[in-house]
Amino acid sequence: MFQLIEQEAADLKSKFATPRRSFLEDSANGEVDDMDVIPNEEMLLILSEKGYLKRMNPNTFNLQNRGTIGKSVGKMRTNDNMSDFIVCQTHDHVLYFSDKGIVYSERAYKIPECTRVAAG
């Protein structure tokens, strides 16, 4: 019985055998990185005077075509104002400078995305 199965498997292999049409690539570590799955889109970083940071989608602020004031950046903490408004891409590096002279680097997509009303 086992010889019959072997013979039929060999016949099927010889009848339907074709060379592989697709190729498998060897990557350095074999893992998918975050950068591979996160699209590189435009985004806004808003920094407050007290050091709070939030990331927002630029589509949050749309053109109103009316004679109005428009939308505000959102809530800030008590006695806190917006200090910087930065436009960047999701894959860009953001550098953080500490008061001790140390520089930290992180990708922009790692900053939590917030709504307009979030404090950051």
The model's pLDDT over 20-55, given as tens digits with 9 standing for 90+, comes to 788 777 666 667 778 888 899 999 888 888 878 888
Neighbours of 120 (CB within 10 A): 23
Residue 68's pLDDT band, with cuts at 50, 70 and 90, is low
Inter-CA distances, 64 with 7, 46, 54, 68, 98, Å: 75, 21, 23, 8, 39
Neighbours of 28 (CB within 10 A): 5
Work out the average pLDDT over 48-77: 70
What was the pLDDT predicted at 20?
78
Per-residue pLDDT tens over the stretch 105-115: 999 999 888 87
Give the angle subtended at the CA of 53 by the CAs of 55 and 76, to the nearest 5°: 100
